[in-house]
A and B are shown apart, each in its own frame.
Chain A
Amino acid sequence: MLHSATVAKLLEVKDLQTHFLTRGGVIRAVDGVSWDIDEGETVALVGESGCGKSVTALSIMRLVSLPAGRIVGGHIYFKGRDLLTLGEEEMRRVRGREIGMIFQEPMTSLNPVLTIGRQLTEGLEIHLGMSQADAHRRAVELLGMVGIPDPARRLPQYPHQFSGGMRQRMMIAMALACDPPLILADEPTTALDVTIQAQILELMKGLARRLGVAMLIITHNLGVVARYADRVNVMYAGRIIERGTARELYGRPRHPYTLGLLRSVPRLDEPRRARLAPIDGQPPDLARLPPGCAFAPRCAFRVDRCAHEAPPLEAVGDTGHVSACWESARLQREYEPAH
């Protein structure tokens, strides 16, 4: 459980493609996405609804719903093994045991007819082969660790007897139960009130540091990302359009979409602006994406080339900062510094 000093790639997603077959055509929800997480690192996947961030997480867990959804290409290397080549039985051992997961809606991801205790001990008994007594002891420990008061008394209770914040703590306890080296957290605080959100995020960050767990945070909230992520991937229409360290990306955005997102939100740390600067237009229809850059129709930096040629991710800084924009150099000239 030591925080490893050697920085190895814990998870490496390579050219992942996940498609959905619908009546409207093929939806390329994840369209050739590559990114990685080092051991103990917190990485964010940011984007708006439909950008493919959640499908990416489901793909890692191999939980994309058949028959409509299918992983049609790419690799997901976890500790060097390609998860896409594993049998279902092996994959089941990875879920929960090796990769924990926290979802947005704890109420729908907890079993309403099983006690809190049973839901915690089940995984411990199955994955770790613990005895009932040991699993019970560990469950009490876990609930205490995530800040649920009086854990022994809470174990026989059911999820509906827990508040939203307490349920999310319970989800975190479940994700941590088997000491996984990686946790995927999909909008972990979106359904929570702001003071509870702050509690949960502090808890997650603290535990991740203390236990050396790597974390993928999937969110649309730019503030949450700024507070907690080491590195950030910004997704748009199934692709990563910019990646960098949080400081680099927020301080010197090199993609018009990232810049647009940062400028469209009102901020408490800045004087109130007379008018917000939204991104024009509507989010893209994934069944009818333009041949070039998917953001081009809404982009203020658009040039002719954008309409038919999709820009690749290219280095725009020296700390691994990459952006997929033909005009990133112009963007840099016009918006330096960003704020």
Chain B
Amino acid sequence: MSLRTEGATATSGPRMSETGEVLLDVRNLVKHFTVGGGMFGGRGGTVRAVDGVSFTLERGETLGLVGESGCGKTTTGRCILQLERPTSGQVIFEGQDLALLSDADVRPFRRRMQVIFQDPYASLNPRMTVGQILAEPLAVHGLVRDRDGRRTRVRELLTRVGLLPQHADRYPHQMSGGQRQRVGIARALAVEPALIVCDEPVSALDVSIQAQIINLLEDLQAELGLTYLFIAHDLAVVRHISDRVAVMYLGKIVEITDRLQLYENPLHPYTKALLAAVPIPDPVLEAERPRTVLMGEVPSPLNPPPGCVFHPRCPIAIDRCRGEVPPLREVTAGHRAACLLA
């Protein structure tokens, strides 16, 4: 493979989405896992973790991917990064369909796509100093060949994420959760990626620290022209950071549109229910708010319901919803929802 990539910071400035250059194009992504039939002899089955997901991501924009546990948002992220190989569908990144490539041919693209995990403690090697953690990708990808150069670059990275150069000598356990997440971000930045998949990057952090990290991610995006896929379950955080938002339920996108539309004018009953369920930190408002509690639980992705996957919990479902799979259709310009009644 001789696919060269352009310089990471060629484009800069905030929110590049007006340029309209598509960085990532996910088409009909499917990931099924086969489970069961193991040592307890259970019947095998297929978990439809991601079941036909399509979206595009423009350079410099942030797409929020929200949904509850098991909806497939993390698997979608992992399939894009090729940490899981998709069952079918396309993941076109910088013009190349990664799903078609061999593991070896995917490798050069790994540098262009990075990930920040929820738990920085679990994702940092406890036996390495922060300096070693940050220098490793520089050496592996041959970005900085000499030791001194790497040391300088490590200092630069630390400063860029709001840490001090002397943090290079610390071990992850000597740092707080917020500092460790900054290290995780610095490690992602080290290889000058174009896309960063942020998988619940602030949900393990204390409230007072979450805002620090979110501000940092926004600053870095503005400075470096980064593109984010921001996977999270916190709808308020997602609204804050995203340009567009996709809502997932049982492996499918049920609604996708820009931030304003999604929060001001949600079309899918699941999106509405999610928004209603978020408690607001204001007792006066909370006392007046109508309680619309969604009944039931998310069905098993081993055996998703026929028709619209949301119909068993849907407060407005009609007979048609039980038999007909609603397509993700454009209801108004740029606002797509998978609901027959939207």
Bound together: yes
Show the binding face of A for B, using Cβ within 8 Å.
Answer: 48-49, 163-166, 193-199, 201-202, 220-227, 229, 246-247, 250-251, 260-262, 264-269, 272-273, 275-280, 282-283, 298, 339
Q: Say yes or no: A227 contacts B279, CB within 8 Å.
A: yes
- With beta carbons under 8 angstroms apart, the residue of B69, B236, B298 that contacts A266 is B236
User: Quick one: which of A221, A260, A272, A279 contacts B240, CB cutoff 8 A?
Assistant: A272
Quick check: B297 and A196 within 8 Å, CB to CB? yes
Q: Are A195 and B210 in contact (CB under 8 A)?
A: no
- Please give me the 5 A-B residue pairs with the lowest Cβ-Cβ distance, nearest first: A223-B279, A278-B211, A193-B68, A279-B208, A48-B206
Task: Pick the interface stretch among B146-154, B185-193, B281-289.
Answer: B281-289
Interchain CB contact under 8 A, B278 and A223: yes
Q: Is the CB of A278 within 8 A of B285?
A: no
CA distance A278 to B273 in the complex (A): 29
Name 18 A/B residue pairs within 8 A (Cβ), A-sorted: A195-B293, A196-B68, A198-B294, A199-B293, A199-B294, A202-B293, A225-B281, A261-B208, A264-B207, A265-B236, A265-B281, A268-B278, A272-B239, A275-B218, A276-B211, A278-B209, A278-B211, A282-B178
In the assembled complex, how far is the CB of residue A289 from the closest CB belonging to chain B, in whole angstroms? 15
- Count: A-B pairs, CB below 8 Å: 138
Does B143 count as interface, using CB distance less than 8 angstroms?
Answer: no
The reply to whether A278 and B281 contact each other, CB–CB distance below 8 Å, is: no
* Smallest Cβ-Cβ distance to B313: which chain A residue: A195
C-alpha spacing A5/B269, complex, angstroms: 42
- Which one of B207, B211, B281 lies within 8 Å of A48 (CB-CB)? B207
Known A194-B274, A195-B277, A223-B281: A265·B211 in contact at CB below 8 Å: yes
Bound: A15/B235 CA distance, A:
39
Shortest beta-carbon distance, A31 to chain B, in Å?
A: 19
In the assembled complex, B179 has its CB within 8 A of some CB on chain A: yes
Known A-B contacts A199-B294, A246-B283, A268-B239; the reply to A283 vs B278 at CB < 8 A is no
Q: Which residues of B contact A277 (CB under 8 A)?
A: 211
B residues with CB within 8 A of A: 68-69, 176-179, 206-212, 214-215, 218, 233, 235-237, 239-240, 259, 263, 273-286, 291, 293-295, 297-298
CB-defined contacts of A222 to chain B, threshold 8 Å: 207, 281
Q: How far is the CA of A247 from the CA of B207 in the complex (A)?
A: 20
A-B contacts besides A226-B285, A339-B282, 16 pairs, CB < 8 Å: A49-B206, A193-B68, A194-B274, A195-B294, A198-B293, A199-B294, A199-B295, A201-B279, A223-B278, A226-B283, A227-B283, A265-B207, A266-B214, A269-B285, A278-B210, A283-B208
Contact of B207 with A220 in the complex, beta carbons under 8 Å: yes
Q: Which residues of A contact B284 (CB under 8 A)?
A: 247, 250-251
CA A226 to CA B283, docked complex, whole Å: 4
Known: A163-B297, A198-B294, A262-B281. A276 touches B207 (CB 8 A): no
Contact B206 A227 (CB under 8 A): no
A250 close to B281 (CB less than 8 A):
yes
Residues of the A chain whose Cβ atoms lie less than 8 Å from the Cβ of B286: 223, 226-227
Least CB distance from A108 to B in Å reads 17
